[in-house]
């Protein structure tokens, strides 16, 4: 690898992967090769694969791009949150960009992100790139998005002004993908950044101090139902805004596409269980007492989860999603009774 010194770098790009070497090389690494670099920059790949194919892909890429300081690390513990935490511990950048192995950065994305970091000041601790949606015009995709909007958007994820704000795509500010036309309209506005409520985990960046000074790490409790941690991006975003009282910036001129490639994610049952349990962990972490309104919002989100589970049953012809939803409710009861899973909590409690 190209790591020959221990000096601090401007930016660390942290990629976690597992058993998807072709996607890693085709989408993620190829897009990194086209970037204008705010040198020095490092790439850290934390790999939980069962073979050496991803390691070999990173080694080839590192030899071909000597301007990057490359580090390959085999995962100490398999799981999205634990692998990202391992990558953070290995990093030396002032700004840490977390990129999925199936995410593609558009040209000049790193340059634009670095400019926003330099200009945003101390008030901001996290940065969300503008995520472009790969359109899903099928009826199932539209229904899932509608259920997500009706359920998840009513979690009471408050902004710093204590008011809910919606983007042009109709979702809470930040996180959810928007259309290319909407992204282009935002990029033409004078301001390079906007305040957002949460960052999308496929392409989000945070200052180093979030981890090493504020003590906010990725919550490994979210891996209870397998390594694919549903909602880890909302959890860390909430911790930054609610626990650390810092702001999140949406970078209007740094674009990325999340291709959502097929691969070893959670089973339908595990995913449904995680959707219930992880959302409860996040909901419980929010500042303020659990008011009647917030409890009603939680119940509304569970109604949306049941709708999604039923749609999944109709689509796949089995009851895995419904069984997973029940598993999640049981885990919530255990957590409520003090018998829940333990792990690094990333500042949420």
Cα–Cα distance measured from residue 106 to residue 34, given in angstroms and rounded to the nearest whole number: 9
The domain containing residue 14 runs over which residues? 9-140+157-258
Which of 258, 279, 304 terminates a domain? The answer is 258
Q: Is 58 helix (H, G, I), strand (E, B) or coil?
A: helix
The residue among 100, 124, 102 whose CA lies nearest residue 23 is 102
Output the pLDDT for position 243: 82
**Pair of tokens at residue 214:** 């504020």
What per-residue confidence (pLDDT) applies to 198?
82
Residues 301 and 181 in one domain: no
Residues 200, 275 share a domain: no
Contact between residue 25 and residue 58 where contact means Cβ atoms under 8 Å apart? no
pLDDT the model gives residue 130: 85
Based on the fold, state whether residues 237 and 294 are members of the same structural domain. no
In terms of domains, do 203 and 330 share one?
no
Residues 34 and 117 in one domain: yes
Low-confidence stretches of the chain (pLDDT < 70) are 1-7, 133-190, 261-265, 286-291, 293-294, 339-349
Phi, psi of 103 (to 5 degrees): -100, 140
According to the model, what pLDDT value does residue 127 have? 95
CA distance 55 to 294: 46
Task: Note whether residue 52 is domain-resident.
Answer: yes
CA dist 120 and 127 (Å) reads: 10
Q: What residues have CB less than 8 Å from 109, skipping those under 6 apart?
A: 35, 129, 254, 255, 256
CB 281 within 8 A of CB 348: yes
What is the pTM assigned to this prediction?
A: 0.85
Same domain, 219 and 318: no
pLDDT at 189: 67
Q: Which helix (H) or strand (E) holds 8?
A: none
Q: Residue 6: left (phi > 0), alpha (psi -120 to 50), or beta?
A: alpha
**CA 191 centroid distance within chain:** 24
**Residues 106, 185 within the same domain:** yes
Answer whether 19's CB lies under 8 Å from 96's CB.
no
The pLDDT value given to residue 348: 42
Token look-up 């989000």 returns 204
308 found inside a domain: yes
Distance set, CA 77 to CA 56, 86, 227, 236, 310 (Å): 20, 9, 9, 19, 33
Residue ending a domain, among 229, 258, 287, is 258
Domain boundary among 258, 285, 300: 258
Token pair belonging to 20: 């998807």
Domain shared by 119 and 173, yes or no: yes
What's 114's domain CATH number? 3.90.550.10
8 A C-beta contact, residue 220 and residue 85? yes
How far from chain centre, in Å, is Cα 76? 20
């Amino acid at each position: 690898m190209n790591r020959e010194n221990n000096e601090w770098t401007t930016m660390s790009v942290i990629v976690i992967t597992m058993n998807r070497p072709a996607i890693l090389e085709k989408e993620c690494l190829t897009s990194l090769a086209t970037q204008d670099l705010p040198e020095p920059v490092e790439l850290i790949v934390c790999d939980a694969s069962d073979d050496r194919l991803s390691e070999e892909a990173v080694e080839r890429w590192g030899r071909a791009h000597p301007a990057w300081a490359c580090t390959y690390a085999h995962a100490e513990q398999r799981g999205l949150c634990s692998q990202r935490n391992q990558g953070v511990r290995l990093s030396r950048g002032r700004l840490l960009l977390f990129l999925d192995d199936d995410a593609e950065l558009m040209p000049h994305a790193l340059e634009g992100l670095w400019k926003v970091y330099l200009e945003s000041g101390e008030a901001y601790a996290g940065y969300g790139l503008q995520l472009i949606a790969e359109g899903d015009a099928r009826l199932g995709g539209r229904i899932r998005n509608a259920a997500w909007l009706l359920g998840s958007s009513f979690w009471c994820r408050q902004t710093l002004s204590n008011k809910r704000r919606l983007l042009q795509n109709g979702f809470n500010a930040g996180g959810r993908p928007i259309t290319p036309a909407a992204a282009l309209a935002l990029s033409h506005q004078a301001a390079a950044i906007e305040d957002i409520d949460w960052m999308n985990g496929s392409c989000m960046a945070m200052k180093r101090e979030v981890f090493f000074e504020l003590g906010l790490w990725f919550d490994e409790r979210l891996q209870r139902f397998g390594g694919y941690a549903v909602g880890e991006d909302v959890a860390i975003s909430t911790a930054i805004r609610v626990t650390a009282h810092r702001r999140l910036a949406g970078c209007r001129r740094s674009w990325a596409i999340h291709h959502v490639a097929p691969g070893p994610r959670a089973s339908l049952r595990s995913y449904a269980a995680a959707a219930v349990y992880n959302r409860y962990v996040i909901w419980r972490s929010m500042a303020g007492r659990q008011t009647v309104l917030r409890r009603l919002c939680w119940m509304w989100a569970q109604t949306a989860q049941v709708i999604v589970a039923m749609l999944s049953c109709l689509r796949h012809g089995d009851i895995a999603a419904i069984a997973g939803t029940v598993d999640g409710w049981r885990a919530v009861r255990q957590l409520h009774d003090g018998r829940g899973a333990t792990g690094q909590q990333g500042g949420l409690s």
